[in-house]
């Protein structure tokens, strides 16, 4: 029997390469983030690198052709909402229109399903694959999330390892950033999370307050 073909994940990184694509930096509790836009919506969100210059380099690598510019009103509103969320973990980010035109159908499905995981909850990579009707595709889901251009808005940080471990995170300062965002959102510390079941149920773990 032939091996099942791996899903097409689409182009790695962002896709704001058309002339006129823009980006701007904005301040958050984590540091200077970047938001990239195109004519079709928000094309990318980059979490802080160790330096502002590093954040700009990451934008250039993932969104070639994007030029630093004054954001249009809807993009400014989005950046303000992201900043509020990274301060208190409770802002509504579901209204934002994302430019997924150059992503594969599989990557779009992964990102759309990830957006349904609420703040304060987590799901395993395998659990998210089951929710997509692709049991056994945990590795492909992980690879799609690794390439996620929409950090925070597509909350790949809420997808963790099956045993309750932190899992991977390629944005910002890596797993330290992932852990910090989960704590801001009210999830329990990763080592204390209960094991996520294989039936893809969301596990909401409220932080205990004395």
Residue 60 maps to which CATH number?
A: 3.30.160
Answer whether residue 101 shows pLDDT above 70: yes
Instruction: Give the residue-averaged pLDDT of 81-104.
Output: 94
Instruction: Give the residue-averaged pLDDT of 48-71.
Output: 93
Q: What residues are annotated to the active site?
A: 156
Give the model confidence (pLDDT) of 133-175 as tens digits.
Answer: 999 899 999 999 999 999 999 999 999 887 767 677 766 667 7
Q: In this predicted model, which residue has the larger pLDDT, 3 or 17?
A: 17
Give the model confidence (pLDDT) of 68-88 as tens digits.
Answer: 999 999 999 999 999 999 999
Could you tell me if 112 and 178 lie in one domain?
yes
Assigned token pair, 120: 């304060």
How far apart CA 186 and CA 15 sit, in angstroms, is 32
Does any domain span residue 11?
A: no
How far apart CA 195 and CA 87 sit, in angstroms, is 28
E strand map for the chain: 22-28, 31-38, 41-46, 67-68, 121-124, 159-160, 203-204
Does any domain span residue 4?
A: no
Q: In this predicted model, which residue has the larger pLDDT, 195 or 96?
A: 96
pLDDT of 38 reads 93
Could you tell me if 177 and 112 lie in one domain?
yes
Q: Taking the model in full, what pTM does it have?
A: 0.81
Distance of CA 119 to the CA centre of its chain: 12
pLDDT of 193 reads 42
- Structural domains counted in the chain: 2
Does any domain span residue 176?
A: yes
Domain ranges, residue 71: 22-88
Q: At what angle do helices 138-146 and 105-114 cross, to 10 degrees?
A: 90
Does any domain span residue 83?
A: yes
């Amino acid at each position: 029997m032939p091996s099942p073909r791996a899903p097409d994940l689409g182009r790695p990184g962002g896709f704001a390469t058309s002339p006129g694509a823009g980006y701007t930096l904005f301040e958050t509790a984590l540091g200077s983030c970047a938001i990239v836009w195109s004519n079709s919506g928000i094309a990318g969100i980059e979490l802080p690198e160790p330096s502002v210059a590093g954040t700009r380099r990451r934008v250039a690598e993932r969104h070639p052709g994007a030029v630093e510019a004054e954001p249009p009103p809807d993009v400014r509103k989005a950046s303000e909402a992201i900043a509020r969320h990274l301060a208190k973990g409770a802002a509504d980010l579901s209204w934002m229109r994302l430019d997924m035109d150059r992503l594969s159908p599989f990557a779009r499905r992964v990102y759309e399903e990830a957006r349904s995981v609420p703040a304060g909850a987590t799901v395993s990579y395998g659990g998210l694959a089951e929710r997509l009707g692709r049991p056994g595709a945990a590795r492909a889901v992980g690879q799609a999330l690794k390439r996620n251009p929409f950090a925070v808005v597509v909350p790949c940080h809420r997808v963790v390892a099956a045993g309750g471990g932190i899992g991977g995170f390629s944005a910002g300062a890596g797993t330290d950033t992932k852990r910090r965002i989960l704590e801001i959102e009210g999830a329990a510390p990763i080592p204390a999370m209960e094991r996520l079941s294989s039936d893809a149920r969301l596990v909401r773990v409220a932080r205990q307050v004395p």
